[in-house]
Amino acid sequence: MSPARREGLNWPFAASVLMLALFGLAAVYSAGQTDVPTVAAFAWRKQMVWLGVGLVAGLVSYRFSSRGLESFSLPVYIFAILLLLFTLAFGTGAGTAAGVKSWLSIGGVRLGQPAEFAKLALILMLARVLAHRQEPPNSLKELLPAGIVAGLPFLLVMQQPDLGSAIVFIGILFAMLFWAGVNPWLLVLLASPGLSLLLSFSTLSWAFWIVFVTGVLWFTRITLIESIIIWAANVFMGVVAFGLWGALAPYQRSRLLSFLNPEVDPQATGWHLIQSKVAIGSGGIFGKGYLDGTQKRLAFLPEQHTDFIFSVVGEELGFLGVIVAMLLFAILLVSLVKIAQRAADSFSYMVVFGFVGLLMTHVLENVGMTVGLMPITGIPLPLFSYGGSFTLACFLGLGVAMRVDRDSLLSGYLGVGGGGI
């Protein structure tokens, strides 16, 4: 290990973070430049403050060794669960989802969204649970602790109800299980009841699905009891789908529906998606020019500084701008994977990849939503969307990743694939 490497900066990582943050700030600024007054007008100033606060938070989290983090993980997780419970009881709504109890506020001042904090807490707790196993969990029974750890915040957030964040918990769980070496087919089986639910809207597709699941159950050779449980869960989901449908809040239902067919009600639910697609599509290859997006300027884009910030990018900077942004995200994610890969200890190894899962889910869900690939759930785009809690969470995670990166360099232990980037 040369001294240069020891002191060296992880350039792809640092550069992608810096560029994404600047890109994001520029997008938030543009989102505020409209011909009609919107709430987004001065969001960029606050976002600058949040970036500063995030930077400080990142430096603070950078101070924590993995050992320290590991020892904190249980209290942090418990605290996060308590916060979620508290939010359910006293939370308030805001923005896109005013009817949702996702904010904690004291005396009318909103303090933040506990769900964002809970995502980090879940990563720490899962890392703790998974890092100390001798073998990767390879049965439902062995997956049970991790499932409970993730399921608890998932259910609490679903109660708010905030489908978007809930999906992120699932994303983190699956990413970390995968990274812990769980057989991917087992993950498919684990996910199968949920997919079964989605596919049950079409009887034919569900029929194919249940045949597929049966096949997978056969070949993965998991225990008979577990096979029966999974199979039964699939059947159950398929059958009760419509009962569950009734249990969804009306806005959730209409969002799901408008995801499936946005033209159903262009003035109401599908409006956001249609306007977003029009903005992005009309951007063309080169875009309408920075600050010049008409859909944005005339406030056709909903929540253009938060949930639909990427539509602004697509409209003003076109396909080229989208490629640049997505490549930056890819570089960041890949460099995080590399950091996780060469982590000095198994806890760090898990934590960093949990963060990869978090970022990945957010990017896929948010960007996918703007083009109709994902249902409109209203979760922020990392480093782009205006918002305090999530920006803070991102920088906390990035700080941890940096520390892990540094520690792995200092320890001199490099995994086989981790020859450095």
Partner 1 sequence: MNWFHPHLNSRRADQSVFLIFGFVGIILLRFFWLQVVGAHDFTLQSAENRLRRVILPAPRGIIVDRNGVVIAENVPGFTVLIHAQAEDVLRETLSGISELAGLDTAVVRRAVRNWRDRPGDPVTVLRDAPPEVVARLEERRVVFPGLVIQAEPKRSYPSGALGAHAIGYLGELTPTDISENRFPGARSGSLVGRVGLEFQYDDRLRGLDGESFIEVDALGRTVRTTGVGPRVEPTQGDTLHTMLDVELQRYISHLFRRDFGIAGRGAVMAIDPRDGAVLALHSAPSYDPNAFIGSSAAGERAELLSSPQLPLFNRAIQGRYPPASPWKLAVAAMALEKGLITMDTKMQIPCTGGYQYGNRFFRCWKTDGHGPVTLLEAIQHSCDVYFYQLGIMLGLDELLEGGVALGFSDLTGIDLPGETRSLYPASTDYFNELYGRRGWTSGVTLNLAIGQGENDQTLVNMMRFYSMLANGGSAPVPYLVDSLPSGRRNYDFRAGVLEGLRESLEEVVLEGTASAAQIANLRIGGKTGTAQNSHGEDHGWFIAFAPVDNPVVVVGAIVEFAEHGSSVAPMVNCIVARHVIGSEFECPTRGLQFSDFPADSAPEPLEVLRDIRRGRLR
Among 36, 204, 224, 247, binds partner 1 (CB under 8 A): 36
- Residue 264 in contact with partner 1, rule: CB under 8 A: no
In terms of phi and psi (left: phi > 0; alpha: psi -120 to 50; beta: otherwise), the region of 248 is beta
Cβ neighbours of 243 (radius 10 Å):
8
- Residue 346 in contact with partner 1, rule: CB under 8 A: yes
Among 323, 410, 411, 420, binds partner 1 (CB under 8 A): 323
Segment contacting partner 1 (CB under 8 A): 104-112, 199-207, 330-338, 391-399?
Answer: 330-338
Here the tokens at position 271 are: 């409006």
Residue 49 and residue 392: Cα distance in Å, rounded? Answer: 11
Residue 157 backbone phi and psi in degrees, to 5: -70, -35
Among 22, 330, 410, 421, binds partner 1 (CB under 8 A): 330
Give Cα separations from 62 to 69, 370, 407 (angstroms). Answer: 11, 33, 10
- Least CB distance from residue 247 to partner 1, whole Å? 30
- Least CB distance from residue 354 to partner 1, whole Å? 12
Here the tokens at position 230 are: 């999974």
- Residue 228 in contact with partner 1, rule: CB under 8 A: no
Residue 27 and residue 304: Cα distance in Å, rounded? Answer: 9
Give Cα separations from 177 to 148, 324, 351, 396 (angstroms). Answer: 13, 30, 12, 22
- Residue 334 in contact with partner 1, rule: CB under 8 A: yes
For partner 1 (CB under 8 A), the number of binding residues is 56
Segment contacting partner 1 (CB under 8 A): 64-72, 102-110, 394-402, 410-418?
Answer: 410-418
250, with CB counted inside 10 A (0-12, 13-18, 19+), is: exposed
- Residue 368 in contact with partner 1, rule: CB under 8 A: yes
- Least CB distance from residue 102 to partner 1, whole Å? 25
Residue 33 and residue 103: Cα distance in Å, rounded? Answer: 27
Residue 27 and residue 293: Cα distance in Å, rounded? Answer: 11
Residue 361 and residue 167: Cα distance in Å, rounded? Answer: 8
- Residue 412 in contact with partner 1, rule: CB under 8 A: no
- Least CB distance from residue 33 to partner 1, whole Å? 13
- Least CB distance from residue 415 to partner 1, whole Å? 5
- Residue 373 in contact with partner 1, rule: CB under 8 A: yes
Q: Give the residue with the Cβ less far from partner 1, 92 or 294.
A: 294
Segment contacting partner 1 (CB under 8 A): 68-76, 99-107, 193-201, 297-305?
Answer: 297-305
Among 333, 344, 379, 393, binds partner 1 (CB under 8 A): 333
- SS3 of residue 95 by DSSP: coil
- Least CB distance from residue 191 to partner 1, whole Å? 14
- Residue 306 in contact with partner 1, rule: CB under 8 A: no
Here the tokens at position 170 are: 């699932």
- Residue 214 in contact with partner 1, rule: CB under 8 A: no
Composition of the chain by helix, strand, coil, percent to 5: 70, 5, 25
Among 95, 136, 151, 194, binds partner 1 (CB under 8 A): 136
- Residue 326 in contact with partner 1, rule: CB under 8 A: yes
- Residue 108 in contact with partner 1, rule: CB under 8 A: no
Residue 271 backbone phi and psi in degrees, to 5: -50, -50
Segment contacting partner 1 (CB under 8 A): 17-25, 206-214, 221-229, 336-344?
Answer: 336-344
- SS3 of residue 412 by DSSP: coil
Among 44, 179, 355, 384, binds partner 1 (CB under 8 A): 179
Q: E strands within 58-208?
A: 104-106, 109-112
Q: Among 390, 356, 380, 352, which residue's Cα sits nearest to residue 116?
A: 390
Q: Give the residue with the Cβ less far from partner 1, 105 or 282.
A: 282
Give Cα separations from 142 to 155, 168, 193 (angstroms). Answer: 20, 22, 18
Segment contacting partner 1 (CB under 8 A): 12-20, 49-57, 178-186, 255-263?
Answer: 178-186
DSSP summary character for residue 285: T
R_g of the chain, CA atoms, integer Å: 22
Q: Which amino acid is at 279?
A: A
- Least CB distance from residue 71 to partner 1, whole Å? 18
Here the tokens at position 6 are: 């020891």
Among 15, 187, 198, 278, binds partner 1 (CB under 8 A): 278
List residues near partner 1 by CB under 8 A: 35-36, 131-136, 178-181, 267, 275, 277-285, 294-295, 298-300, 314, 318-319, 322-323, 326-327, 329-330, 333-334, 337-338, 340-341, 346, 349, 353, 356, 360, 364, 367-368, 371, 373, 415-417
